[in-house]
Amino acid sequence: MILLFRLACQSAKEMGSNLDRIPEGKGPYSVGCTDLMTDYSIQGIFLRLYYPSQIGTSDEETIWIPNREYYYGLSDFLNIYRTFGEFIFTCNFGSVTCPAKWNAAFKLGEKYPLIIFSHGLGAFRTLYSAICTEMASQGFVVAAVEHRDQSSSATYYLNEKPALGAKGEASEVHKEWIYYRKLKAGEDEVALRQQQVQQRADECVRALDLMLDINSGKQIVNVLPLSFNWMLLKDSIDVQKIAVMGHSFGAATTIEALSKNVQFKGTVHQSFPDFTFLTGNIVGKIFGLKGQLNPNTAIDISNKASLAFLQKHLGLDKDFDQWDSLLEGKGQDVIPGTNIDLPPMPPQSKQ
């Protein structure tokens, strides 16, 4: 079995390419990131924040996938044995870092538009760091929510339990892991997904409320043992320029979130989790992580279109309108509409 694992790891590396880093943001801002969890319960909000940062305030690299339990969740989602999946993921991605400095100090002196980001089915908060870092490098604060509706491959909350044999109020904090919920035999997927998307949208709205509380200077409690100074974010968010965006099931979440909160002004469907930059052509295509176009070219087009969209709908005073043509399907490697054959729309009844 060990020999099989070694051969699989070696094979995966040989099938990979030299695209072994997640691309950095191309904007004028240095980017930092940190995590925030608001409660010792499943009802709390859990997010990763990407933001413009002060240069030189952190040299610490940010671990891309921070816990082995995420490997277990990805293995479950991909229907492979956990032991095998952990070995493959650790071998190929264990040393990967995301292109943002961990706990770097927040950059003061400006008001930044805010994006609430919702991940896809079977993903989690850290897997879209290329997109989130690019948006932060262009002057956005991005709160990537980790959903606890069992649509993430894995997530967790912290739970305080009395320490064994301890007296008084002594307690220990444990991670309680929640893994992806697979459909049961005969279960209606539509009903499950509708329930999940409702919870996800509520989490996005609560994440927005949390960020607005931080912006107003309200003291918050981060139950994670991190030293980030959240008070630096006071009066740093432009409350008139707030967007929600997401990938795949996260896109469905954004549409639902738009109906729940009028403060959200725009929505963008992104389709590039970080794995596309870290797998070779064969492995990437087997797991549906790569297309024919170079992923760096593809995400550059998508990011530019996203920025043009955000400028248009948020009224930003930037130069992102230089990419407006992409929104119309014009440009190299871009097509208008879709190249997928869609079923005909049913006729709408006349009122």
SS (H, E, C) the chain: CHHHHHHHHHHHHHHCCCCCCCCCCCCCCEEEEEEEECCCCCCCCEEEEEEEECCCCCCCEEECCCCHHHHHHHHHHCCCCHHHHHHHHHHHHCCCEEEEEECCCECCCCCEEEEEEECCCCCCCCCCHHHHHHHHHCCCEEEEECCCCCCCCEEEEEEEEECCCCCCCCEEEEEEEEECCCCCCCCCHHHHHHHHHHHHHHHHHHHHHHHHHHHCCCCCCCCCCCCCCHHHHCCCEEEEEEEEEEECHHHHHHHHHHHHCCCCCCCCEECCCCHHHHCCHHHHHHCCCCCCCCHHHHHHHHHHHHHHHHHHHHCCCCCHHHHHHHHCCCCCCCCCCCCCCCCCCCCCCCC
Domain count, the chain: 1
Q: Is residue 185 part of a domain?
A: yes
Q: Is residue 342 part of a domain?
A: no
Q: Is residue 344 part of a domain?
A: no
Q: What is the pLDDT of residues 36-59, one digit of tens each?
A: 999 999 999 999 999 999 999 999
CATH of the domain at 226: 3.40.50.1820
Q: Is residue 336 part of a domain?
A: no
Q: According to the model, what pLDDT value does residue 164 have?
A: 63
**Higher local confidence (pLDDT), 6 or 281:** 281
Q: Is residue 170 part of a domain?
A: no
Q: Is residue 345 part of a domain?
A: no
pLDDT at 15 over 70: no
Q: Is residue 158 part of a domain?
A: no
Kindly report the average pLDDT of the chain as a whole number: 87
* Residue-range definition of the domain harbouring residue 46: 2-150+180-327
